[in-house]
Amino acid sequence: MTQSYRAGVVAVVVTFQPALEVLKQLLYALVPQVTSVVIVDNGSHSDLLAWDSERDTRDVELLRLGENRGIAAAQNAGIQWARNRGARFVLLMDQDSIPAPDMVEKLVSTISEQASPATAGPRYLDERQDNPPPFIRIRGLRLERCVCSAEESVVPVDYLISSGCLIPMSVLDKVGGMRDDFFIDYVDIEWGLRARHHGFQSYGVCSAHMQHSLGDHPIEFFGKNIPLHSPLRHYYHFRNAVLLYKEPWVPLNWKLVDGWRLCLKYVFYSLFAKPRMAHLRMMTLGVWHGLVCKSGKF
């Protein structure tokens, strides 16, 4: 198998208190597929530094931010690191995502074949879910869940989860980086919609695979596993959603459909996420801070 697809691909792995054994598995899977890897650490404990000095994985740099500045700021730092080294593509990865051996090759191939690509991302499998989550897009006033009908399918979407996204550096130069005042949550959604506003299209690649854990332990509800986050994450989720809805360039139909989903989440997590009052309080505070344009770290 040719390795030419690797040229100019720099992976940015964002970490915060990572499980070091999982991070090691990630690097072993990732390093053979890219030119280089930079780990951008958001103020983890010192054992990460000790682990970095002892590991045997090469072609990996560790960039320590010294404090938790949020996933968007860490991604931007990694993107700049890659830009300074002449990268053609940036591959964003979370610390708990494991790419399939041919994931990057599939993504590079898709980018090269599509018109005005913003990013290409894999189909991921969360072992706590029954099936790979579908790709999401909004058409009119309807949310479409796009299940891969064939392994070779490429699905145009509004946005992708950031982990596993391959982005051309030329697109980042035109669209800009991640919105760091969001800190975490809706960062990938905002960037995907902003790229679309600039005339670029995001693509889900059914033949590209990745293992990924979304949220904490899910809530089982009528036979389905619903992803669950902490009350603090729900604060960011609801605040940043409201901040995004206030942007004039976001399509009205997208605001209406996603806003309705946000209302349903508010009711669901208020009733079923424990401790209920903590989730209710943080979601409500998030909505209020979004309305008064308060952003940044909580």
Interatomic CA distance for residues 258 and 176, integer angstroms: 23
Question: Which pair of structure tokens corresponds to residue 145?
Answer: 């869940």
Question: Which pair of structure tokens corresponds to residue 223?
Answer: 């036979």
Interatomic CA distance for residues 56 and 45, integer angstroms: 20
* CATH architecture of residue range(s) 4-211: Alpha-Beta Complex (3.90)
Interatomic CA distance for residues 38 and 41, integer angstroms: 9
Task: Please compute the mean of the pLDDT values over residues 242-263 and round it to a whole number.
Answer: 97
Domain assignments of the chain as residue spans, ordered by start: 4-211, 217-291
Q: What is the per-residue pLDDT across 29-54, written as a single tens digit (0 to 9) for each? A: 999 999 999 999 998 886 777 777 77
Q: What is the per-residue pLDDT across 88-121, written as a single tens digit (0 to 9) for each? A: 999 999 999 999 999 999 999 999 999 899 999 9
Residue pair 298/183 in contact (Cβ under 8 Å)? The answer is yes
Would you give the end-to-end CA distance of the chain in angstroms? 47
Task: Please compute the mean of the pLDDT values over residues 251-269 and round it to a whole number.
Answer: 96
Interatomic CA distance for residues 283 and 185, integer angstroms: 13
Residue pair 96/213 in contact (Cβ under 8 Å)? The answer is yes
Q: What is the pTM of this model?
A: 0.93
Interatomic CA distance for residues 182 and 161, integer angstroms: 15
Question: Which pair of structure tokens corresponds to residue 260?
Answer: 């309705």
Q: To 10 degrees, the CA torsion angle through 77, 95, 235, 139?
A: 90
211 pLDDT more than 60: yes
Interatomic CA distance for residues 290 and 37, integer angstroms: 35
Which run of H or E residues covers position 292? none
Q: How far is CA 105 from its chain centroid?
A: 19
Q: Identify the CA nearest to 125 among candidates 145, 97, 151.
A: 97
Q: What is the per-residue pLDDT across 126-148, written as a single tens digit (0 to 9) for each? A: 776 656 788 989 999 999 998 88
Interatomic CA distance for residues 37 and 52, integer angstroms: 13
